[in-house]
Structure 1
Amino acid sequence: MRLRLDVSYDGADFSGWAVQPGRRTVAGVLLEALGRLAGVDTAFGLTVAGRTDAGVHASGQVCHVDLADDVWTTLEASLLRRLAALMPPDARVKSITPVPSTFDARFSATYRRYEYRVADTVWGPEPLRRHDTIHWVRPLDVDRLSAASYGLTGEHDYAAYCKRKEHATTVRAITSLDWRRDPDGVVVATVQADAFCQSMVRSLVGALLAVGDGRRDPGWPSTLLTLSERSSAVTVAPAHGLTLIAVGYPDESDYAVRAEATRRLRA
């Protein structure tokens, strides 16, 4: 039985999503909890929509796992409640949904949406939001941020903003990149794309903040799209300001088609 898990976590004390020997990770604590409930050999194939870096949070992460049919029959009515008792307080499984075997949390996804929060007040972020909001010491102009973001949307090679991986493309399609100032004064970026390469969102934000505080011209970030290598002029924004808030999927009948198309594109 394939199960979709909707997950949220505070990334402050995690070394990212992926399992790493000797490090505390979100996948690690989730697999440990599933293993205690289902047995180490009956929960397998944990796959996530987007591997978040150390310190990055999620309120809308999605993953899937395959569970032996007989184990699922035994645990179906109580699995969510039992996971709540076993998972640490900084990571929660919010829902568990049986899905077809064609569902792939990573390759079936049509988009990922992130938010990045910045407090440019003199006193910094509210204490209760210190884990998901960075402090920017220079005042930010939202109009400048929006103007600079316009040239970064669409399908481009974002090599200047990515940590390149061997045999992987850095071409992505950003469908929206918007800025707003919330009533509490915090400046928030919302960025959505078909997918992101490693550190891409934080690199984009880092470049745009240099525009928002007046140090760079609004046209500068888009000029970097002509580069074929990561730009040393781009400062990667701190991890703790970033939160994965949503992952989108097509209709159930299109899971396999979307997954196959994504695999071809990423190769």
Structure 2
Amino acid sequence: MNRKFIDIAANLTDPMYQGLYHGTRKHAADLVQVLGRAWDVGVQRIIVTGGSLDDSKAAVSTAGTDDRLYATVGCHPTRCQEFEADEPSAYLEALKQVATEGRGKVVAVGECGLDYDRLQFCPKDVQKKYFELQLDISEALKLPLFLHCRNAADDFVEILSRNRDRLCGGVVHSFDGSKNAAASILDLGYYIGINGCSLRTPENLEVAASIPADRLMLETDCPWCEIRPTHAGFNFVKTTFNAVKKEKWQASSLIKGRNEPCQIVQVLEALAGARNENANDLAEKIHANTMKCFFDRFA
């Protein structure tokens, strides 16, 4: 089929890929095998997500191990209190430095945005303040944004709208919002990233089907957001992988409950099914979108 994929959101720095679950080792580190399975299904590039200063450093370091790996640099909304642990301007400058030193590997600023579903980790006012502050890095380095929005579309769109003229686009990843929220994001010129969490309900499928093909991207957001049998999108999945419990680990198998970049194939199948489109044609369009947003600008 010669499908070409770019996974725009892979949390490859997660300890699960080192065999650690909640601090306990269950199996050998297997990131090499995980990546091998991704390349085997046609994944050509993977963007490793940075969600804090330390995580961004690790993402850039991981990206340096393979020509096909890239990274984002930023602070996730639920972790924005890290800005205030010392001096906010110093934290921002440190993020900017990581992104600057990683030029060529760092393709976006983020993961940043707003998450009102998990305010127990960080209050709204703190999230909004440091979301907007991180836009300074995007402007300074002329990098697109890798964005997160959960149950916060109004404030999210307002901040992006107010700063529109100084930014250069990007993607709202792991989108699971309403048609109205999608329309507002599209009106601002952003792409929308789809993963398993974007395809859980019939309503999710309707929204995903309504997004123009030239504004879509694919992701796994691994090791989370797999398409589960209880998800509406699962009905369209055709490709399966052998998976075992983590205690029964073997190098040739996936781990049950741990998502991997190779499973982007399933996201494509579910999305194409929901849209009643040819999966190969859709994959080609989405690959072109992703190259245009993140990579062609550096060619």
* TM-score between both structures, scaled by the size of structure 1: 0.29
Which structure has more strand as a fraction of its residues? 1
Higher CA-based Rg: 1
* TM-score between both structures, scaled by the size of structure 2: 0.27
